[in-house]
Structures are given as structure tokens and as C-alpha cells.
């Protein structure tokens, strides 16, 4: 029945009466928006500020504001009009569509126009709409009829458009005005459906030890409304929102076990801040069309100091019968001295390296969180082909009633034609009063839960790290 209804409603057209003509003109008219400023946050919330020049009468007047966001939060509306006060406001979001027009016509009389496929002759019948429940049920000339999808041309003509249906999302307010005349009205509200994210393209030059970083802002609009020629300001950070059901925001597209390591910086960025958030204004006004994705560049840094390396993290009592790949890691800093000098909003960093023909080739991606200026970033981009690690539990013996001694061996191999350094991490040391009592290479403790060795591995060679741990389990 729903298929039949959809097919029938597709042919619905309004009658050529004065009210219908006015609505058609309204739908085709330019946007009623004024001077727009939009502030977009990361967690599906945006602040829209719209200054419109209106001719307002004296006394109690009703004023409509078409072309507001279809996902406006009406309780957040603020309207400032000189010499006028808000008495009441309504948000009309029941939009004019063939289906809504037919649903509103229940109990009303419409005109059916049928066309004879053979002769092209048209016949008109008045029909009373009884119901629209999975199909259109009509009373025609004393009998009940269901509009069918039988391929015969039929149109439904309506005498008028119901006042409750709007061609565009519309906010209407009742004002108590103390004078008549033209004046600016400043409309502000919060809306969902507008969002942004950051994406980075990093071109790494291993020989020079540098990376070129270009940052792109991706704007998305699913608000149901196009915002024309707007000043746009982006805010990096998660603002408080009572509509949030989960305040935890995972790092963008970070693969489990391959998380980006960040040592937070302490440099003050020159970028404008709003409280604890950084602001990224777009250089020019832009139109953010409904159901559109738009990209704008916000960062272009050349020759940022960078290095490549390897990292392997072994879980507690992790043992492998075969060698496993170390992670390929790109390390750089967003400090001023390194050549980048900016706070970085959360996003995805995609890394490219030029091949022997000079063509940039994609080598991996990972996510970063909001990163203050001066931070050191270790970005895993994939698994190394030639650098492997084989962790092995050599022995595990009981020491007394409640302690165990575990001997570990880590074999690192390098099939590359040049030496590499592998950051070898043994994790899981935070439990059971773990003590590292013996090792053949000096480690450092990053925290209570892990020991780290910087292991140089010669070209086409291997290196071995041994360690003995004393634990309560």
C-alpha cells in the first residue's frame, strides 16, 4: 500500500489558485536570510546568528523568519529587535510535500483529473478524502475508491495549501512593537546538522628529514537549510551539551593497538582562543549548501622537522612462535622551532612518501586528538615489512609462595640495507609488584606499567634484548 501511495502522490499537483501561486513564488524566491554568521563546533552543534532588516508595524504584530535551520533548537532562540519585545514564538517545521499535502486534505474535497491514454481527453471529478493510511481512500460520486498505481494518468488538484504547511522551515514570532518602521532584527539560535572535521595530508621526505603538512577543514550540512554567504568560524574542542548521551569521543579512525602517542606541548599558540577552545575562522564568506560537503584549507606548513622509526609493544607474557612486524612510526612536532607552530584540531593524518619516480604514494593514516602547540607526535602508519620482533617467554618459575620469575627474550631483525632503531616496549608491568631485576640493555620506565628499550638494529642484521621480571603473579 505504501508503494501505491507513493506512486499516486508523485502525481499530485496544486490547483492554480491565488494562495497556491503565492506559495509557489515563496518556494522559488531567494533566501530570506540576512547577514549570516555561523559558529560550528565539533559535536553536532552550531550557533547561527542572522541579522535581517525588517519592516515592522506598530502594536501587536506577527513576524515570520523563513529559511531557518530545519534542525533548530527552538528553546535556544534569541531575538533582539529595537523597540519591540517577543510575546510568543512558534517553529513551523511541517514542510509542504505531496504526501503532507494529501494527509492534510483528509476530510476535505479535492479534484481528480483523469486522462484517457487513447484520446488524451481529461475528465474531472470532485472527491472527498476519507483517509491516508498506507494509501489514499476517496469518496467519489457516492462510492469509495482507492487511488491505485495502475499506470493511468491521474492528478489530484487542491483548492488551497493548509496554513500549517510551509515551503521552508519557518520561525514565527508575535511582537509587541512600540513603533512602526524598518529596523534590524538579530536572530540567534543553536542548531544540529552542521559539523566539521580536520584532515591532514603529510608528505614525508626521509632523506631531508622533513614533512610538508597541509590541513583541510571538511564542513558538512545536514540541517535541511542552505546558509548563504556566511561568515564561518570553527571551534576546536568539545563544548558541553546536555543532549550528549556519551561524553567519550574516541580518537578519529584510530586502529586498536596502533594509537598515536603524543607528548603534550606547553607552547602558547598565536591563534585566537575562546575560553579553552581554539578558533579557526574561514578567510572568506562561504555558502554552506544543504546536503553538501565542503573542504577549505586552514594549514600549509613546509619543511617541518620529522623522522621515521619503528615501535613494537609486547603485552605481558606475550610470546610468539614467529616474528611479528614492528609498527612504522612518523615522528614530528607542531612546535614553532620545528616549523609548524600551530595547535592542531582532532582529525586524521594521511601520510605520503615519494617513490623512485617522484610520485607521492600513500603509506598509511592515523588519528590525532586536539593537540596543543609544542607537542611531540608519534604517528603509527602501518606495519613494517622488513623490521620484525619475536618475543619469547624463556622461562617462568615460582619463587617462594607468592612470587614468580619470568625470563623474556626479544629477537629483533632488520632486512633493510641500513640500520634502524626500534622502540621496544614491554607493557603490563603495573600489576603484581613487578620488578625488572636483570636486563642486557638499559631500559627506561615510561610509567609504572611499561619498560622501554631503544634498540639499534644493524643493516641486514639482528639484535637481542633479554630481561628478567620478578612479580607476584
For residue 103, what pLDDT is reported?
76
Query: What's the pLDDT tens digit per position in 54-73?
Result: 999 999 998 888 888 988 88
Return d(Cα 190, Cα 78) in angstroms, integer.
Answer: 10
Q: Note the residue count of the chain.
A: 473
For residue 212, what pLDDT is reported?
97
Query: How confident is the model over 346-369, as a mean pLDDT?
Result: 94
For residue 113, what pLDDT is reported?
82
For residue 27, what pLDDT is reported?
39
Cβ contacts of 417 within 8 Å, gap of 6 or more: 459, 460
Cell triple for 343? 595547535
Taking residue 371's Cβ as centre, other Cβ atoms within 10 Å add up to 22
The HSE-up count of residue 109 (CA atoms within 13 Å, CB side) is 6
C-alpha dihedral, 431 to 433 to 434 to 436, nearest 10°: 160
Q: Which of 427, 468, 465 is nearest to 445 (CA)?
A: 427
For residue 134, what pLDDT is reported?
73
Query: What's the pLDDT tens digit per position in 110-169?
Result: 888 888 777 878 888 888 888 887 778 888 888 888 876 555 677 788 877 776 666 666
For residue 193, what pLDDT is reported?
94
Return d(Cα 291, Cα 225) in angstroms, integer.
Answer: 9
For residue 127, what pLDDT is reported?
84
Is residue 84 scored above 50 in pLDDT?
yes
In this structure, is the dihedral angle defined by the CA atoms of residues 220, 223, 227 and 230, taken in order, positive or negative? negative
For residue 242, what pLDDT is reported?
58
For residue 257, what pLDDT is reported?
60
For residue 287, what pLDDT is reported?
93
For residue 400, what pLDDT is reported?
83
Under the banding of pLDDT at 50, 70 and 90, the label for residue 391 is: very high
More confident position, 372 or 30: 372
Classify 6 as helix, strand or coil: helix
Cβ contacts of 218 within 8 Å, gap of 6 or more: 196, 197, 198, 199, 293, 294, 295
For residue 95, what pLDDT is reported?
57
More confident position, 255 or 195: 195
**Is 325:383 a contact under the CB 8 Å cutoff?**
yes
For residue 326, what pLDDT is reported?
96
Is residue 174 scored above 50 in pLDDT?
yes
- Lowest pLDDT segment from 84-98, 105-119, 214-228, 289-303: 84-98
Is residue 245 scored above 50 in pLDDT?
no
Classify 461 as helix, strand or coil: strand
Is residue 371 scored above 90 in pLDDT?
yes
Domain boundaries, the chain: 194-239+249-471
Cell triple for 62? 506577527
Percent of the chain that is helix, strand, coil (3-state, to 5): 5, 55, 40
Q: How far apart are the first and last CA of the chain?
A: 67
For residue 165, what pLDDT is reported?
60
Is residue 386 scored above 60 in pLDDT?
yes
Cβ contacts of 78 within 8 Å, gap of 6 or more: 186, 187, 188, 189
Query: How confident is the model over 208-214, as a mean pLDDT?
Result: 96
**Bridge-based pairing state of the strands 154-157 and 109-115:** antiparallel
**Bridge-based pairing state of the strands 46-56 and 181-191:** antiparallel
Proportion of the chain above pLDDT 90, given as a percent: 54
**Whole-number mean pLDDT of the chain?**
84
What are the Cα distances from residue 177, in Å, to 55, 62, 79, 84?
11, 10, 13, 4
Query: How confident is the model over 63-85, as a mean pLDDT?
Result: 88
Amino acid at each position: 500500500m505504501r508503494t501505491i501511495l507513493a506512486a499516486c502522490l508523485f502525481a499530485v499537483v496544486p490547483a492554480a489558485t491565488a494562495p497556491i501561486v503565492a506559495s509557489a513564488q515563496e518556494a522559488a524566491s531567494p533566501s530570506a536570510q540576512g547577514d549570516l554568521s555561523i559558529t560550528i563546533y565539533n559535536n553536532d552543534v552550531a550557533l547561527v546568528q542572522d541579522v535581517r532588516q525588517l519592516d515592522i508595524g506598530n502594536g501587536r504584530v506577527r513576524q515570520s523568519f523563513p529559511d531557518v535551520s530545519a534542525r533548530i533548537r527552538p528553546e535556544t532562540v534569541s531575538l533582539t529587535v529595537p523597540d519591540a519585545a517577543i510575546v510568543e514564538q512558534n517553529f513551523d517545521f511541517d514542510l509542504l510535500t505531496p504526501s503532507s499535502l494529501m494527509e492534510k486534505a483528509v476530510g476535505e474535497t479535492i479534484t481528480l483529473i483523469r486522462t484517457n491514454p487513447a484520446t488524451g481527453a481529461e475528465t474531472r471529478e470532485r472527491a472527498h478524502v476519507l483517509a491516508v493510511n498506507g494509501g489514499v481512500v476517496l469518496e467519489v460520486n457516492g462510492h469509495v475508491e482507492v487511488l491505485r498505481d495502475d499506470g493511468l494518468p491521474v492528478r489530484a488538484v487542491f483548492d488551497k495549501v493548509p496554513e500549517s504547511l510551509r515551503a521552508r522551515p519557518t520561525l514565527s514570532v508575535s511582537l509587541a512593537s512600540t513603533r512602526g518602521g524598518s529596523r534590524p532584527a538579530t536572530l540567534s539560535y543553536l542548531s544540529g546538522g552542521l559539523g566539521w572535521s580536520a584532515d591532514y595530508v603529510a608528505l614525508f621526505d626521509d632523506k631531508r628529514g622533513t614533512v610538508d603538512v597541509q590541513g583541510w577543514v571538511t564542513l558538512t550540512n545536514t540541517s535541511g537549510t542552505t546558509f548563504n554567504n556566511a561568515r564561518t568560524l570553527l571551534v576546536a574542542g568539545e563544548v558541553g551539551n546536555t543532549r550528549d548521551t556519551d561524553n567519550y569521543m574516541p580518537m578519529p579512525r584510530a586502529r586498536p593497538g596502533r594509537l598515536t602517542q603524543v607528548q603534550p606541548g606547553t607552547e602558547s599558540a598565536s591563534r585566537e582562543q575562546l575560553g579553552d577552545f581554539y578558533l579557526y575562522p574561514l578567510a572568506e564568506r562561504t555558502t554552506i549548501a544543504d546536503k553538501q560537503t565542503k573542504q577549505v584549507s586552514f594549514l600549509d606548513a613546509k619543511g617541518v622537522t620529522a623522522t621515521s622509526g619503528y615501535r613494537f609493544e609486547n603485552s605481558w607474557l606475550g610470546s610468539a612462535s614467529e616474528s611479528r612486524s614492528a609498527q612504522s612510526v612518523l615522528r614530528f612536532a607542531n612546535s614553532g622551532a620545528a616549523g609548524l607552530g600551530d595547535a592542531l584540531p582532532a582529525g586524521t593524518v594521511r601520510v605520503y612518501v615519494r617513490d623512485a619516480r617522484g610520485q607521492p604514494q600513500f603509506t598509511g593514516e592515523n588519528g590525532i586528538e586536539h593537540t596543543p602547540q609544542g607537542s611531540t607526535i608519534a604517528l603509527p602508519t602501518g606495519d613494517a615489512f622488513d623490521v620484525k620482533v619475536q618475543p619469547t617467554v624463556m622461562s617462568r618459575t615460582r619463587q617462594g609462595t607468592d612470587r614468580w620469575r619470568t625470563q623474556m627474550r626479544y629477537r629483533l631483525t632488520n632486512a633493510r640495507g641500513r640500520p634502524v632503531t626500534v622502540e621496544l616496549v614491554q607493557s603490563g608491568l603495573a600489576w603484581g609488584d613487578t620488578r625488572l631485576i636483570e636486563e642486557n640493555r638499559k631500559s627506561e620506565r615510561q610509567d609504572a606499567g611499561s619498560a622501554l628499550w631503544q634498540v639499534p638494529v644493524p643493516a641486514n642484521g639482528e639484535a637481542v634484548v633479554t630481561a628478567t621480571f620478578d612479580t607476584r603473579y
